[in-house]
Amino acid sequence: MSKDIKFSVIVPSYHEKLNIEPLTTRLFQALGPEFSKQTELIYVDDNSQDGSVEEVQKLSEKGYNVRIIVRTKERGLSSAVLHGFKNSDGQYLLCMDADLQHPPEVVPKMLDSLVEHPFALGTRYAKGVEMDKNWPIYRRIISSGARLLALPLTSASDPMSGFFGVQRKYLYEVDPNAINNINDKGFKIALELLAKLPLPKKDAIGDVPFSFGVRTEGESKLSGKVMFQYLGQLRDLYCYKFGGFHLVMGSIVLTLLFLGTVLLYLGV
Ligand SMILES: Nc1nc2c(ncn2[C@@H]2O[C@H](COP(=O)(O)OP(=O)(O)O[C@H]3O[C@H](CO)[C@@H](O)[C@H](O)[C@@H]3O)[C@@H](O)[C@H]2O)c(=O)[nH]1
């Protein structure tokens, strides 16, 4: 562990070569000299073979505190994030996407919020925040439907967000067993952590409103399989939180309804 590093920014990445340079330079620019000295940036890549490794090496040689962890045996967004958390040095852990939909310029605000709260949440559902008009309608529907289904699990304003931070001690120290209960499948790692970590009842979450942009380089990896994984995750979380046969059945009905709506809108 390096004691100079206070903040670790973890970026799960898969086929993101074209986004690495702009994200890295914009992030350290936004952090400024003081914050930058205390921050490491870690890409967790699942063996993309697209030149991402060389891109990160170039930036590291230029003096940015950035590295890339390449996994060859595992795949998946949530598990990549957990892998990054485990292999980082900071007491304050931030997660963001590589595709610049999470503006690097908002990161200093996220880190400020994370120092004040156990959990910092980049939220798209706050007063005055506008969604980029180019964000496809079907993605809005999926996002709202997914959020609705998560309502009984957490009061967080945007548990579907991939832009969030958590203080390391809540992952590994407050309850050392908590991390073993975390499901590493799928995309919704923030929801999983919000529902299962031993966060305080009051003032646990610091919301940071941000405008969700559209991807300009590369492609989204959100697939039908990921949506199914979300439904499984929901079922497990409902069981974990409430237990009981009726709640499980209720969640299955809800998820089927959600799935039906998605398929309807996709015209499948
Ligand atoms: N290492 C690794 N990274 C992955 C994988 N799948 C996706 N990623 C990375 O995870 C980030 C998000 O993936 P996208 O494919 O860009 O997701 P999205 O469609 O933009 O969905 C995002 O926004 C949603 C909000 O609507 C979020 O809910 C979701 O978690 C994600 O952040 C990107 O940096 C992408 O490269 C994987 O299997 N392995």
Please report the domains of the chain, with CATH numbers, ordered by start residue: 7-218 (3.90.550.10)
User: What digits encode the pLDDT tens for the residues 177-192?
Assistant: 999 999 998 789 999 9
CA 187 to ligand 1 centroid distance, Å: 7
C-beta neighbour count of 47 within 10 angstroms: 14
The tens digit of pLDDT for each residue in 24-64 reads 999 999 999 999 999 999 999 999 999 999 999 999 999 99
**Can you give the pLDDT at residue 69?**
98
Helix (H) or strand (E) holding 140, with range, is: helix 137-150
User: Alpha-carbon Rg of the chain, whole angstroms?
Assistant: 18
Question: Rounded to the nearest whole angstrom, what is the distance from the C-alpha of residue 99 to the centroid of ligand 1?
Answer: 8
- Going from the Cα of 77 to the center of ligand 1, the distance in angstroms, rounded, reads 6
Question: Residue 234 is which amino acid?
Answer: L
Q: Hey, what amino acid is at 165?
A: G
CA dist., res. 157 & res. 210, Å (int): 12
Reported ipTM: 0.95
Q: What is the pLDDT of residue 165?
A: 98
